[in-house]
Every structure is written in C-alpha cells, then in structure tokens.
Chain A
Amino acid sequence: MSPRDAGTVSSGFERSPTMDILLQQIINGLTTGSVYAVVALGYTMVYGVIQLINFAHGEVVMIGAMVAFSVISALAGGSLPPLAIVLAGVIAAIPACMAIGYLLERAAYRPLRHAPRLAPLITAIGMSIILQHLALLIWGRNPLAFPQIIDNRVFAIGGAAISSVQIAIILMSLAMMAGLSWFVYRTRFGIAIRATAENVHVAGLMGVNADRVIAATFVIGAGLGAVAGVMYGSYYGIAHYTMGFSLGLKAFSAAVLGGIGNIAGAMLGGILLGLVEALGTGYVGDLTDLCRWPGAGGDIGWMGAHCADGAHFVLFGSNYQEVFAFLMLILVLVFRPSGLLGERVSERA
C-alpha cells in the first residue's frame, strides 16, 4: 500500500470517498439495525409483561434461520419461483419458532412464575444452552451457506450501494414494526397485553387472562424472531448454530438502549445500535490509529519510528466489532438505566 492510500479507509470511489463511505455505513447499519430491532421486540415484549430476560430468544431466532435454511435448500432447484421458495422458508420458520416460544413459556417459565427472580433466569440460560445444542445436533457444527436464490441486485445511491436484500430487510422490518404497533395499540388483545404489562393483578381483576397474554407475548416475539432469523441469514449468507448468542445479546442491548419493556424503544434502540456498530466498525480503526493523531505522523512525530512510510499503529481495529454492543449496553445501564424511552429499571425500593 502506498503512503497516499493509507490516508483513506478505501480508495474504491473517485468522488468524495469519505461521504460515500459514511453513507454506505449508514445503509449497512440501517439493515442490521432493522434486524436487531425486530429481535429486540421479542425481548422487550416478554420483559414488559413478566420482567424476565428470555435468554433463549436469540436461540429461537437462530432456529428460525435454520428451519428456513432447510426448507429453502430443499426447494431450491425445484420448479417454484425463487421468491415463493424464500416465502415458503419464512412461512415454515414462523410456526416452528412460535411453537418453541410457546413451549418455552409453558414448560420452563410458567412453573416458575412465583419462584425467586434468579430461578427463571437460570432456567432461561439452561434452555438457551439446550436449544443451541439441539440445533447443533440437527444442523451440524459447520456454518451453513444460505442459498442465494434471489437475484441480489445492487443499486447505487450517491456513491454508496444498496442491495435488494437490504431494501427487503428494511422494508419488512418496518412493516412488522408497524403491524406490531397496530396490534398492541389498536386491538383488544393488544390492550390486554399493555394492561398486563402495567399490572398483572389488576389486569387479572379486569378479566384479562394473564396466562394467555404472557404466552401470546412469547409466541408473537418468537414469530417476529423467526422472520428476523431469515433476514439475518439472507443478509450474511450464513446460518450457524451459535449465531443466536451474539445476535440475541445485541438485540437485548438494543432493547435496553431504547428502554426495556417499551416497544417503540426497542425499534429505536435496534436501529441506533445497528448504526453505532456500523459506524464504529467503519471508523474505529482510523480513530485509534496513533499514526493519524496530530503530532504523531511522518517520521518526526512522537510515534515517528512506527509511523514512517505511512504505516499504521491501530489500537482497535474493526475486529472489535462485537464489543460495541456490549460497551453500549454497559454505558446505558450505568448512565441511563431507563434507556432512551423507558421507565426506571435500576433497583427500586
């Protein structure tokens, strides 16, 4: 690499490369952020109603991706049109995940509803491990290449590129969020969910069947998660039995960032986290390159020996991508535990 190139992240574009890269990172961030948001909805709905972090939610999303992978792989090469095949994958994943969500609630969490707080949490961790390793048994240890059967066209916006898959992910996420908002704010059952979230006992007195509401939040969250799993798999072109862990943790961070228990917050948090992650990954290398700090460059600065000939001294490169979500989670919990839109979550009297 020549000294001149070293100054930019990439030299792929002719015209105002910095702006183009920024735009590209924003597009990428919006895409992953939409997926985080949809997964975060699953955490936040369950938390809103029974104050449980459903650790296994990430694994449900992973199983959604896996089921879709199996269906799409089986149908690919057949006579069906590609879009129909993908749709079939999604349609198969949704009930599969909903069934798992229901079983989780019914078999693992419901019996512990009146147990001390730690008990359902520990159970959730156990269920997550079990689901993960069952998936390993069924789908194997190796990453599965998600069949790319739809022609993935790339469009240029400004100097950046957006693919049809990205457009589809963003649009579908928006549609699901809108649908969920309508459901929660405009339907009778949605009102029952919000009433239960407010106060289980009072909602019960008002004739709301709390058991049904709680089960429903698990099922709806799992259904959304299934779609998110397919979107994630299609975007990265890969499905793996461990993908649920970091995806789940990020989505949970997103839910906390937005204010856990708050549906709009989960959406906002997801998108923000996606952006932070994309921009962070894109720029952290440059920002922590000591050779680019004022006074450090050339061969006379304080880092002179290291930075001669345009060399780099990058403290934290893009390989720290996974850290951003955690760092944000920790910062939010320490400085604004209620999240951006939520109520207070730190311990109360």
Chain B
Amino acid sequence: MNMTGRDKLGLALIAVALIALPFVLASAGTAWVRITNFAVLFVLLSLGLNIVVGFAGLLDLGYVAFYAVGAYVYALLASPHFGLHLPFWVILPLGAAVACVAGVILGAPTLRLRGDYLAIVTLGFGEIVRIFMNNLSSPINLTNGPKGISRIDSFQIGPVNFAGSDTFAGLVFSGPIKYYYFLMLVLLGVIVINRRLQDSRIGRAWVAIREDEIAAKASGINTRNIKLLAFAMGASFGGIAGGMFAAMQTFVSPESFVLNESIMVLSMVVLGGMGNIWGVIAGAVLLSFVPELLRYTVEPAQIALFGKLLIDPEVLRMLVFGAALVLTMRFRPAGLWPETRHRREMSENRA
C-alpha cells in the first residue's frame, strides 16, 4: 500500500480519536462505552459474515451459531459451571478453532446446494444449535439449559482483571474501557486479515465463485474446498466474537443466539456493502448506534407526545433492520459503500 503524507496524517488522527474515544464516552456514562463495545463486537461479526456472504456470495443465515459456539466454549471453560478457569488467551483461540470445525461440519453437506437452499439449511442449523443449547441440561448438564451459564470469568492479564477498574497515569480504566482496547486490537487484526485475504489468491477465488460458479470451476477452482474455507474463516471470526461476548457479559444463555441476531449481522453487511470491508464496518457501526439513538429519542418523544410508550424501541430496532434489508436491495443493492471495484468504476465514469 502506498500512502501519501495526507493519508498517513488522516490515519494517525483516526487512531488518536479511537484511542481517546472511550474516555470521551465514559464522561457521558459507562453505558456508552458498553454500547460501543457491543458495536465493535457486531463489527467483528459483520466482518466474519462478510467473508461468507460478501466475498464468496454464500447466504448464511445461521451465522449466530458460530457466535454461540464461541461463547459457550468460553463459558464452559471459564466459569464455576464445570469449575474450570482457563485463561482467556487459551480459550479465545480454542473457541475460534471449535467454531471453525463447526463451520466445516455444517458447511460440508450443504455446499452442493444452490444459494437459497444454503440459506434455509444454515438457518435450520442455527436453530438446531440453539435448541441443543436449550436442552443439553439433561441427562448430563452440559449447558445448563435455558437458565444459561453465569459468573463467567472476565479477562485477566497479569494482575489486571477486566472486571474492575484500574487507575493508571491518573486515568480510570473501567472494565468496559479495557475491553474496548482489547476489542480494538482484535478488530485491527481482523481487518488486516480480511484485507490480506481479499487481495490474495484465495480471496480472488471467493469472488470468482460469487460472480460465476461454473466459470470458477472451469477456471480450475475447487469450489467446494474454497467455499468451505470461506465458511471456516467466517465461523472462526464468529467464534472469537462469541468468546469476547461471554467474557464481557459474564453470562450466556441460548436467548442471546436467536435468528434475529443472524439477521441483524446480515443487515449490517448488506447495508454497508457486501464485499467491501470499510462499508461493512460502517454498516455495522451505523446499525449498532441507530437503535440506541432511537432508544434515547423515540422513547422520551413518545412519552412526551402520547403520555405512554406506543412503540417499543426494541420493535423499532427490528423494523429498522428489516427495512435496511429491503430498501438496500431495492435502491442500492451494492450497499451504501460499495466494493472498491465498483467505486473505481464510478469515478472513471465521472472523469
């Protein structure tokens, strides 16, 4: 990548802003740091799903299953449930690996199928995973059923525990702020991995399959393996995000892994622009914060106007996601921030 001085300056400014952000947010309330952390978690998920949907063009509606696998791996290995307390740097990669294997197992039988069947089968798999989590409390109590697993360990790096606050150089680092920085590091890694994959032999094969599977095969691509690879990579990212989720919440239950979560992540990828990393990130950030803003504006506005809450912000949120899917497909199928190749094309037309 060739960067001009201006690019470098811009990048440095963004970095400084992202580093300062949690303290600015914390001054408005720790809740905002938490909200931001969840937004970053969704960015991670979206980037994972983007590999499957955006690059390879495989509509995976059960993506939340891998998120769930990552979260439960973390929960089971770092909670009083089994009395195991492994350190996070062991469990996070392990969760990614287990999710990756799950991705391959779920992907293998379905990849022969045409796109829409793949969608519904992955949706079915997602539900199956959730049903199993709900019911694997008997005969042997693996998942603790609908009650979920609580008192999950927070991250611990040396003496620093992410559950509490630490003061360093006069600044108060609350738990969410520490998680924020950790998430940012993970995000940075995921972005780098995504960029490098996109520009690689594998990334080109993914896009080729998305564009024309028959031509891809005839050009010598083993489409089955390459698709499986997309599934596996996407699932791994989901697994990492799941592990982070478990640690941040210190509680997991099947309720967190319903189909709507998959749809939310899909909306982010679609709205931002399938295949474009920066678009997907922007889509995820936008769709993470808009509902929160709605919560803080629509709720008081309704009470002021009608004296009661007519539309639950939670419902409004799902309506926003549904509308995002429908309207994007109708009016901007390439997303708000389309893939670079398109953009290059458009700027040419303007010139």
Residues of A within 8 A of B (CB): 51-53, 108, 111-112, 115-123, 125-130, 132-134, 136-137, 141, 245-246, 249, 252-253, 256, 290, 306, 312-317, 319-320, 322-323, 325-327, 329-330, 333-334, 337, 345-347, 349
Contacts and interface: CB of A to CB of B under 8 A. Distances in A.
Interface of B: 53, 57, 59, 61, 109-110, 112-117, 119-121, 123-125, 127-128, 131-132, 134-135, 138-139, 213-214, 259-260, 263, 266-267, 270, 311-312, 315, 318-319, 321-326, 328-330, 333
Contacts of B128: 323, 326-327
A319 B322 contact: no
A347 B260 CA distance: 28
A129 B325 contact: yes
Question: Secondary structure of the A side of the interface?
Answer: helix
A346 B118 CA distance: 10
Contacts of B119: 53, 121
A345 B114 CA distance: 8
Given A118-B115, A322-B127, A334-B109, A130 B329 contact: no
Most B Cβ at <10 Å: residue of A126, A313, A317: A126
B329 A333 contact: no
A141 B260 CA distance: 16
Given A320-B131, A326-B127, A337-B113, A108 B326 contact: yes
A348 to B, nearest CB: 9
Contacts of B319: 129-130, 133-134
Given A136-B315, A314-B139, A317-B135, A125 B325 contact: yes
A326 B125 contact: yes
A327 B131 CA distance: 12
A322 B134 CA distance: 12
A121 B113 contact: no
Given A111-B330, A122-B266, A126-B325, A314 B138 contact: yes
B288 to A, nearest CB: 17
Contacts of B53: 118
A333 B131 contact: no
Contacts of A256: 117
B266 A349 contact: no
B114 to A, nearest CB: 5
Contacts of B117: 256, 333, 337, 345-346
Contacts of B270: 122
A122 B323 CA distance: 11
A133 B139 contact: no
A141 B114 CA distance: 36
Contacts of A345: 113-114, 117
A326 B114 contact: no
A121 B59 contact: yes
Given A126-B325, A133-B318, A347-B112, A319 B135 contact: yes
Nearest to A126: B325
Given A314-B138, A346-B113, A347-B213, A53 B326 contact: no
A320 to B, nearest CB: 6
